[in-house]
Structure 1
Amino acid sequence: MADAARRIMTPEEFFAWQRDQDELYELIDGHPVPRHRMMTGASLQHDQATVNIIISLGTQLKGTPCRPTTADVAIRTSIMDLRRPDVMVECAALVPDTYEAREPKLVVEVASPSTTAVDRARKLEEYKRHPTLAYILLVETLKPQALLYARQGDAWAIATFEGVDAIIDLPAIGARLALAEVYEGLTFAPRRNVATGA
């Protein structure tokens, strides 16, 4: 790994190298970086929300050209960068033995305390530049809340969804996400009352 981290790789060189590794990497500025170095592992909350999203989208998209993918599939965000969102919806024909999405429409990042800053800064801006993405969804795990960026021409509209009754419409892929389904099986710590300190 040390030799690989020192030299700059093209995405094609990276995918050839990744095949022999025991863990998933992202390509950042041409250098492979372990995906879980940024995550310090995934909590059960993170994992359950990710699985719930895949189940919901997979059920709704069955029989359409679109399908959800896991972090095993990469998205090319620049000439030297490959990211691995927690969930992605790809709407191109399935090509065997390919490692990156060709026509992704949605990326979902499920927040964990160690990744929130990166997800909401650099990765968000990288995703916005991808020409086929219609949506970028950031899902919280400490409270039932999601932030949706929806492409509108050359701009991105932002909407916040709060509470388990909220429903996120995703017409560009013919699906929607109910936060009740996203957070099924999850529990949240009681919120402190700022006024009383309780």
Structure 2
Amino acid sequence: MTTVSFPDYLVLDEQAPERLEFYNGEVYALAGGSLHQGIICGNVFAELRSALTKGANPCQAFNSEVRIHIQAVNAYVYPDASIACPPLNTVSEPAEAIANPILIAEVLSPSTESYDRGGKFHRYRQLSSLQEYVFIDSQSYTVEVYRRKGDLWQIVVFTGLGQEVALGAINGSLSMEAIYSGVEL
């Protein structure tokens, strides 16, 4: 694989029809999402914002347009949704990004699941600020929350539309019904 410089990546990312992620000189195109994935992504972002507002939490929710910078592994990635708290640790040069998310959510699809669970999760674990990594399945009513407990990650699985997904990072929860609103599986 040919490696590219970071400035070249920024030019490619700006010009590409899809978003591109950067990892130590390698560029990865993000797969296009399905209708269900798009609906779920929108729902998750809206519910995260709502949960923060209800709890009078000063943290900020971000959608998939905001990059995360993982300095430890020289990576810039686009999660489906994320939350960071003040003071925001942002990077403006060479690219605008957040460097201190406390929660990251990815909506899984058949084309992204292995990357989200594998290489991307490995990179995210290098973020000392990250407390929870949330997988939302676009093929079934299932949400997995990975919670950092020191150097270990504990998994809690929520299934069925009647569940409330507890998120310790924001001291709140999201309803499975709201996450999957408008989606029939």
TM-score by structure 2 length?
A: 0.85
Does the aligned pair in 1 maintain the 2:23–2:73 contact within 8 Å?
Answer: no
- Counterpart selection for 2:64 from 71, 77, 82: 71
Does the aligned pair in 2 maintain the 1:28–1:82 contact within 8 Å?
Answer: yes
* Cross-structure match for 1:194: none
2: CA distance, partners of 1:19 / 1:128: 24
* Cross-structure match for 1:33: 28
Does the aligned pair in 2 maintain the 1:148–1:158 contact within 8 Å?
Answer: yes
Structure that is richer in strand per residue: 2
Post-superposition CA distance 1:156-186 (Å, at most 9, x none): 1111111011111113213211111100110
Runs of 5+ consecutive residues of structure 2 not aligned to the other structure? none
* Cross-structure match for 2:82: 88
TM-score by structure 1 length?
A: 0.80
Post-superposition CA distance 1:116-175 (Å, at most 9, x none): 111111111221221000000011011100111001122111111110111111132132
2: CA distance, partners of 1:179 / 1:139: 10
- The reply to whether residue 177 of structure 1 matches residue 174 of structure 2 is yes
Structure showing greater radius of gyration is 1
Identity of aligned residues (%): 25
Structure 1's 102 and 80: CA in aligned 2 closer, same or farther, altered over 3 A?
closer
Moved more, 95-104 or 154-163: 95-104
User: 1:102 deviation in Å?
Assistant: 2.8
User: 1:18 deviation in Å?
Assistant: 5.5
User: Aligned to 2:102, what secondary structure does the other structure show?
Assistant: strand
1: CA distance, partners of 2:38 / 2:14: 25
Considering only aligned residues, what root-mean-square deviation do their CA atoms show, in Å? 2.3
1: CA distance, partners of 2:126 / 2:36: 29
- Counterpart selection for 1:138 from 135, 143, 149: 135
- The reply to whether residue 122 of structure 1 matches residue 119 of structure 2 is yes
Does the aligned pair in 2 maintain the 1:15–1:99 contact within 8 Å?
Answer: no
2: CA distance, partners of 1:83 / 1:22: 15
Moved more, 152-161 or 60-69: 60-69
User: Aligned to 2:58, what secondary structure does the other structure show?
Assistant: coil
Runs of 5+ consecutive residues of structure 1 not aligned to the other structure? 189-198
- The reply to whether residue 55 of structure 1 matches residue 52 of structure 2 is no
